[in-house]
A and B are shown apart, each in its own frame.
Chain A
Amino acid sequence: MSDETPAPEGGTASDWGFETRMIHAGAGPDPVSGSRQIPIHQTSAYAFHDVDHAASLFNLQTFGFIYSRLGNPTVASLEQRIASLEGGCGATCAASGHAAQVLAFFPLIEAGERFAASTRLYGGSVTQFSRTFPKFDWQCDFVDTEDLSAVEAVLAQGAKALFVESLANPGGVVTDLETLAGLTRAAGALLIVDNTLATPWLCRPFEWGADLIVHSATKFLSGNGTVIGGAVVDSGRFDWSASGRFPGLSEPEPAYHGLKFSETFGELAFTVHSHAVGLRDLGASMAPMNAFLTLLGTETLALRMERHCRNALAVAEWLTEHPKVEWVSYAGLPTSPYRELAEKYLPNGAGSVFTFGVRGGYEAGVRVVEKCELFSHLANIGDARSLIIHPASTTHRQLTDEQRAAAGAGPEVVRLSIGLETVDDLVRDLDGALAAA
C-alpha cells in the first residue's frame, strides 16, 4: 500500500509529458470566473478575511497572498510552471535574471563567506559576482570548471556553492554537470546552474545532480524580447540542517518569531524563505504582466527551441565554410570539442546562441555587426528575432582582457542568437555583412 505507484489519473506532474506541462502546469481555470487563460492579477495587495487570517499569513501558518512584493497569483502560476518544467520542488520569480542570482545566494552565503563560479559565464554575472557581491562581503572565487582539481581545491577552501552555466554564454561551451555535482556533493556544497541558454527543454540540471537552477526569463522562456525577468528553482533535495553551514535555513529566523525554515517547511524551506525573507527584504519581485508574458512564452517553448536549434545548426555549418570566418564555436557541430558533452546533456540540440571569430580582429568584428540588415544589433539573446553583437565592445566590455579571453569573448568574436526566421534569409544577411567587413 505505502509504496503504491500512482495510477495515471491519480498521478503526479512528472507523469505528464513536457509539452503538456508547458501549457498546463500552474494553470487550471480560474476558480471564480472559469477564465481559462491565467488572469493578470494587477494588484499590490490582498484583502484579509479577518485579523486571525492576517496573523496566520504573516506568521507563515497558512498559504496565501499578503502583498505583491512577497507573492502574486499570476507570478505564482509562472513559478509553478517553471518548477514543473525543471522537475523542481518550487520556484521564486524575480525582477530579472540577475535579481534571481542574488535571491539564490541570499539564504546561503553569510558575510565573509565564499562561493565559486565558473570563468565561463555571461559577462554581467562575472561583474555581479566580482564587483557588487563583495559589497555584501560575499566573496567569489572564479575557477576553470574543466580543471577538476582546481574545483576540488576551491571547494576545500570553503566555497559553499559552485555556480555554472549549463550551456555558457557567449556560446559553444557545455558544462559537465554530473561530474561537478559529484564534487559539490562530496564537499557539502551546492551546485547552482544557470540554465538560461539551454532551457529545461534542452537540459534539466536536476537530473544531473544540481541543487538550484537560476534563469533569466528575459531570454527563451518568454521568447519574444518583451520581458525582463528571472527565476530561482529549488530541487528540494539539499539537506539544510545536515552540516550547520546554512544557518539562514536551519536556525531560528528572528523576524518570524524564531521559526526554523528547514524544520517547519521541509523540502519547501528554500522557496518559502525566498519569498518570505528574500523578496520581502531584497524587493526585486517580478511584475504580474511580465509573468503573464512569460507564461505565454513557455506554452510554445519546445516548438521554438526545436526551430532555434535547427536554424542555429544550419547557420553554424554554413559559417564554418566561409573564408572570412576563422572558427565557429557551436557545441552542435561535429568538430566542437564539446560535442560529446552536448550529446550527453543536450540531446535535443545545442541551443541557438554561439560565437564565431572573424578574420581581421576587433575592427572586422565590429563591421560585421554593423553591416547586418536582418539581424538586430542589440544586447540580448533568446528572442524570436535573430540577434548579433560584438561582446568585446559591449556585454563583456567591463571585463579585463584575461577575463574576456576566459569567457570566450576575445576581440575577433561575434555572438549570434539565432531566431525563428527563414534560415536562408539569415545566411544571406550574414553573407552580405561578412562580404562588407
Chain B
Amino acid sequence: MASALRYSDSLIAGILRRVRTIAMVGASPNWKRPSNFAMKYLQQKGYRVIPVNPRAAEAGASILGERARASLAEVPAPVEMVDVFRGSDAALEITREAIRLREEKRIEVVWMQLGVRNDEAAAEAEAAGLTVIMNRCPKIEYGRLWGELGWGGFDRGVISSRWRRPVKGDERAG
C-alpha cells in the first residue's frame, strides 16, 4: 500500500467553502446507494450537485431533481469540483477528462471518494494545477469539520473554544 494520505483540515475546509457546484461522476438514481446519500446531503448543505451517469442520461432521468449528464463535457460551467464516485481504475480516465476540461468548466478540484485512489491520476492532475483529494468523502468531511459527525459519536479532530454560529442547512458555516 502506498503512503497514507493526510490532508490538513484547513485544506479540506478551504475546498468545501470555495466550491459551489460539484459534478458527481457515478451518482446513482437508486436512493439506497452511497452516492445518492452523499448527493442528497451535499444538496442540503447548499451545493449544486450535477450527476454524471451515462445510463441515467440516456434514459433522460433526473437524480434528486438534477438532470443526469452523459459525461463531464455535458455539465454546464462553472463546476469547481469533480467528485469521482467510481472505482480507482476508472479514476484515471475521469481525471484526464477533468484536466482537458479544466479551463472551459473552471474545474479546480478532483475529489476521489472514500475507497478511491489513483496516484497516477493525482500526479497528472496536480501537474496541471488541480487540487486533488483521494479516499475521502465530502459528506463525511463536511460533517467532521462543521460538527454534525460528532452527533454520531465520531472524533471530529476539531478543538475550539470559539463560539461559532449554528450550521445552517443552506450555507456553509465557519
Chain A residues proximal to chain B, CB less than 8 Å: 1-7, 9-14, 16, 20-21, 24-26, 28-29, 31-32, 34, 36, 49, 56, 59-65, 71, 73, 75-77, 79-80, 83-84, 88-93, 257-259, 263-264, 266, 268, 271-272, 275
Q: Is the CB of B8 within 8 A of A61?
A: no
What are 24 residue pairs bridging A and B, where the CB atoms are less than 8 Å apart in the complex? Answer: A2-B133, A4-B6, A4-B8, A4-B11, A10-B10, A26-B156, A28-B161, A28-B163, A29-B164, A31-B167, A36-B161, A49-B169, A56-B40, A61-B40, A62-B44, A62-B148, A63-B151, A65-B151, A75-B153, A80-B150, A89-B155, A90-B152, A91-B153, A264-B34
Q: Which residue of A lies closest to B142 (CB)?
A: A63
Q: Say whether B115 faces chain A, with CB atoms less than 8 Å apart.
A: yes
- Beyond the given pairs A10-B8, A26-B155, 10 more chain A to chain B contacts, judged by CB atoms under 8 angstroms and listed by A's residue number, are A2-B132, A12-B9, A12-B157, A14-B157, A16-B159, A36-B161, A63-B152, A64-B151, A79-B154, A90-B155
Q: Is the CB of A61 within 8 A of B149?
A: no
Q: Say whether B25 faces chain A, with CB atoms less than 8 Å apart.
A: no
Q: Is the CB of A80 within 8 A of B155?
A: yes
A2-B122, A2-B126, A29-B161 are contacts. A271–B41 as well, Cβ < 8 Å? no
Q: How far is the CA of A25 from the CA of B11 in the complex (A)?
A: 21
- A234 shortest CB reach to chain B, Å: 9
A20-B159, A266-B115 are contacts. A4–B7 as well, Cβ < 8 Å? yes
Per-position binary interface string of chain B over residues 118-138, scored 1 when its CB falls under 8 Å from any chain A CB and 0 otherwise = 000010001000011110010
- B5 shortest CB reach to chain A, Å: 6
How many B residues touch A, CB cutoff 8 Å? 49
A6-B9, A11-B8 are contacts. A88–B37 as well, Cβ < 8 Å? no
Q: How far is the CA of A315 from the CA of B159 in the complex (A)?
A: 38
- B62 shortest CB reach to chain A, Å: 16
Q: Is the CB of A2 within 8 A of B148?
A: no
**Which B residues touch A263, using CB under 8 A?**
34
Q: Which residue of A lies closest to B130 (CB)?
A: A1
Q: Is the CB of A268 within 8 A of B3?
A: no
**Which B residues touch A6, using CB under 8 A?**
6-10
**Which B residues touch A28, using CB under 8 A?**
147, 158-164
Q: Is the CB of A80 within 8 A of B3?
A: no
Q: How far is the CA of A255 from the CA of B101 in the complex (A)?
A: 43
Q: Is the CB of B161 within 8 A of A275?
A: no
Q: How far is the CA of A152 from the CA of B25 in the complex (A)?
A: 46
**Which A residues touch B3, using CB under 8 A?**
3
Per-position binary interface string of chain B over residues 1-41, scored 1 when its CB falls under 8 Å from any chain A CB and 0 otherwise = 00101111111010000000000000000011010010011
**Which A residues touch B10, using CB under 8 A?**
6-7, 9-10
- B55 shortest CB reach to chain A, Å: 20
Interface majority SS on B: helix, strand, loop or mixed? loop
Q: Which residue of A lies closest to B164 (CB)?
A: A31
Q: Which of B32, B115, B150 contacts A77 (CB 8 A)?
A: B150
Q: How far is the CA of A16 from the CA of B154 in the complex (A)?
A: 16
Q: How far is the CA of A56 from the CA of B39 in the complex (A)?
A: 12
Q: How far is the CA of A266 from the CA of B37 in the complex (A)?
A: 13
Q: Is the CB of B162 within 8 A of A29?
A: yes
**Which B residues touch A24, using CB under 8 A?**
159-161
**Which B residues touch A4, using CB under 8 A?**
6-8, 11
Q: How far is the CA of A60 from the CA of B34 in the complex (A)?
A: 10
Q: Is the CB of A79 within 8 A of B153?
A: yes
Q: Is the CB of B155 within 8 A of A83?
A: yes
- B166 shortest CB reach to chain A, Å: 4
Q: Say whether B90 faces chain A, with CB atoms less than 8 Å apart.
A: no
Q: How far is the CA of A247 from the CA of B146 in the complex (A)?
A: 32
- B169 shortest CB reach to chain A, Å: 8
Q: Which residue of A lies closest to B2 (CB)?
A: A3
Q: Is the CB of B134 within 8 A of A73?
A: no
Q: Is the CB of B151 within 8 A of A11?
A: no
**Which B residues touch A93, using CB under 8 A?**
153
Q: Say whether B140 faces chain A, with CB atoms less than 8 Å apart.
A: yes
- B102 shortest CB reach to chain A, Å: 16
**Which B residues touch A92, using CB under 8 A?**
153
Q: Say whether B114 faces chain A, with CB atoms less than 8 Å apart.
A: yes
Q: Which of A3, A13, A84 contacts B5 (CB 8 A)?
A: A3
Q: How far is the CA of A16 from the CA of B158 in the complex (A)?
A: 9
- B127 shortest CB reach to chain A, Å: 11
Q: Which of A2, A34, A275 contacts B152 (CB 8 A)?
A: A275
Q: Which residue of A lies closest to B167 (CB)?
A: A31
Q: Is the CB of B166 within 8 A of A31?
A: yes
Q: How far is the CA of A160 from the CA of B152 in the complex (A)?
A: 26
Most buried by A among B37, B164, B167: B37
- The 3 A-B pairs of least Cβ separation, nearest first, read A10-B10, A79-B153, A6-B8
**Which B residues touch A3, using CB under 8 A?**
3, 5-6
- B70 shortest CB reach to chain A, Å: 26
Q: Which of B8, B126, B156 contacts A13 (CB 8 A)?
A: B156
Q: Which of B9, B44, B114, B163 contacts A11 (CB 8 A)?
A: B9
Q: Is the CB of B126 within 8 A of A1?
A: yes
Q: Say whether B143 faces chain A, with CB atoms less than 8 Å apart.
A: yes
Q: Is the CB of B153 within 8 A of A275?
A: yes
- B60 shortest CB reach to chain A, Å: 24
Q: Which of A21, A34, A64 contacts B148 (CB 8 A)?
A: A64
Most buried by A among B134, B137, B140, B156: B156
